Amino acid sequence: MTSSNSHQNPSILLTGATGYIGGRLLKELENLDYSVSCLTRRPGPLQTRVSSNTQVFKGDVLDATTLDEALKGIDVAYYLVHSMGSKSDFEEEDRAAAINFSTAAKNARVKRIIYLGGLGSEEENLSPHLRSRLEVGCILREGGVPTIELKASIIIGSGSLSFEMIRNLVERLPIMVTPQWVRVDAQPIFVDDILRYLIQAINLPLENSRIFEVGGADVISYGGLMQEYARQRKLKRIMLPVPFLTPWLSSLWLNLITPLYARIGRKLIDSIQHASTMRNHDAQDAFSIKPVGVVEAMEKAIKKEEDFWNETQWSDALSSVGPKNNWGGVKYGNRIIDHRSMVTTAGKHEAFAPIRRIGGNTGWYFANTLWRLRGFVDYLFGGVGLRRVGVIPTS
């Protein structure tokens, strides 16, 4: 992905750099030699992922006193923050965060804010999540700093929330009982195209705030996306439509079948019960971007999924608000990978000794009853059960 600037690059503040879109945008901005700063609640994990020229500030959009230092001297600020994973009143949190950021940006004389929101109409009876995304855009636009709001529907890309849901459902279920929301039209966009829009928005001529609806070349439902994924993966899948699966039941179903948490699944399903298609096409004239269609987007996402490690995941932002340790976060590919790390002063033999003791009479660190049940089942099918048959080398 490339971009050219005929003038000196502006200084940029990126919020949401630990999230799915923000993490990828960060690398693109660094590759284009922009002067980038990041605002995050947990600088430690992010500090190891940025270039030597990128500054990382500790701050929280819910705490207005932490924003001034990060916004000092900034020309363009990306607002890629939302509280979808919050257990509390996420609408109130999103509202307060947007007001804090908008006020601080105006006081710091930021020249523009770029915000990625959701594609929907205020005239519809929207879900709380999508309604909140639209409200945040309104707060930013009316806060005194010219704002570019990009409204997008489903984002297709390896590791994205929607793609992970589709991939897990299709890979695991030969027969799918599909509720009404699976048949609602959307206009998915490939993640690389969203990044292009976000980058071109930096230098887009702008006098007042503007809203741009952005989407891919095709209008298609989640069911159509599932069928396209199955086609490309050469999987035969049967979809049986039913009228009675509520969003609440569907979210529990997703919680069982996919990596999505139930509360995340519920908010996602609530948001896609109304069509999310473009009604305004101003972006076609304002940006030099021609988004790809579903077939190409899905093909690229599947190919990227075969890489052992994706660039970013939808769960990155959720893990970033967890306990303050150095966990790397959960990553999902065609495998389920739980990558964790911790620094220790112990020597390699001393550090590895507890791992060598796992199994046998020692059992597992947690839920040892389940460990023994697993061993018993393994033994019934001719395996070694709980017996230890060898020692892992330490070299």
Q: Which of 48-62, 260-274, 338-352 has the lowest mean pLDDT?
A: 260-274
pLDDT of residue 273: 67
Q: Which CATH superfamily is domain 11-319 in?
A: NAD(P)-binding Rossmann-like Domain (3.40.50.720)
User: Which pLDDT tens digit goes with each residue over 196-235?
Assistant: 999 999 999 998 999 999 999 999 998 999 999 999 999 9
Q: How far apart are CA 185 and CA 117, in angstroms?
A: 18
pLDDT of residue 257: 58
Name the nearest CA neighbour of 222 among 173, 158, 154.
Answer: 154
| pLDDT greater at residue 310 or residue 293 | 293
Sequence-separated (6 or more) residues with CB below 8 Å from residue 89: none
Name the nearest CA neighbour of 155 among 118, 180, 115.
Answer: 118
Is the separation of the CB atoms in 44 and 57 below 8 Å?
Answer: no
Q: Which of 129-133, 182-186, 319-323, 332-336 has the lowest mean pLDDT?
A: 319-323
Q: Which of 97-111, 216-230, 262-276, 347-361 has the lowest mean pLDDT?
A: 262-276
> Dihedral sign, CA of 168, 172, 175, 177?
negative
pLDDT of residue 110: 97
In the chain, what percentage of residues exceed pLDDT 90?
A: 46
pLDDT of residue 37: 97
pLDDT of residue 296: 97
pLDDT value at 86 more than 70:
no
Q: How far apart are CA 172 and CA 194, in angstroms?
A: 29
C-alpha distances out from residue 166 to 79, 172, 216, 218, 224, Å? 27, 10, 17, 17, 10
84 band by pLDDT with thresholds 50, 70 and 90: low
Tokens 């959720």: give the residue.
318
pLDDT of residue 203: 95
pLDDT of residue 45: 83
pLDDT of residue 347: 87
Report the chain's mean pLDDT, rounded to a whole number. 81
Q: Which of 75-79, 94-98, 245-249 has the lowest mean pLDDT?
A: 245-249
Is the separation of the CB atoms in 349 and 394 below 8 Å?
Answer: yes
Is the separation of the CB atoms in 278 and 219 below 8 Å?
Answer: no
Q: Average pLDDT in the 365-380 region?
A: 77
pLDDT value at 256 more than 70:
no
Query: What is the pairing mode between strands 336-338 and 330-332?
Result: antiparallel
C-alpha torsion angle, residues 305, 307, 310, 314 (rounded to 10): 20
Q: Which of 12-16, 309-313, 355-359 has the lowest mean pLDDT?
A: 309-313
259 band by pLDDT with thresholds 50, 70 and 90: low
Query: What is the pairing mode between strands 220-221 and 185-186?
Result: antiparallel
pTM: 0.75
Q: CATH 3.40.50.720 in the chain: give the residue spans.
A: 11-319
pLDDT of residue 204: 95
Q: Average pLDDT in the 310-327 region?
A: 46
Q: How far apart are CA 378 and CA 385, in angstroms?
A: 5
pLDDT value at 140 more than 50:
yes
| pLDDT greater at residue 29 or residue 179 | 29
pLDDT of residue 388: 59
Sequence-separated (6 or more) residues with CB below 8 Å from residue 15: 22, 38, 39, 40, 61, 77, 78, 79, 80, 81, 101
Number of neighbours of residue 380 by Cβ within 10 angstroms: 9
| pLDDT greater at residue 4 or residue 307 | 307
| pLDDT greater at residue 265 or residue 228 | 228
Q: Average pLDDT in the 111-135 region?
A: 83
375 band by pLDDT with thresholds 50, 70 and 90: confident
Q: How far apart are CA 188 and CA 215, in angstroms?
A: 6
Q: How far apart are CA 318 and CA 203, in angstroms?
A: 31
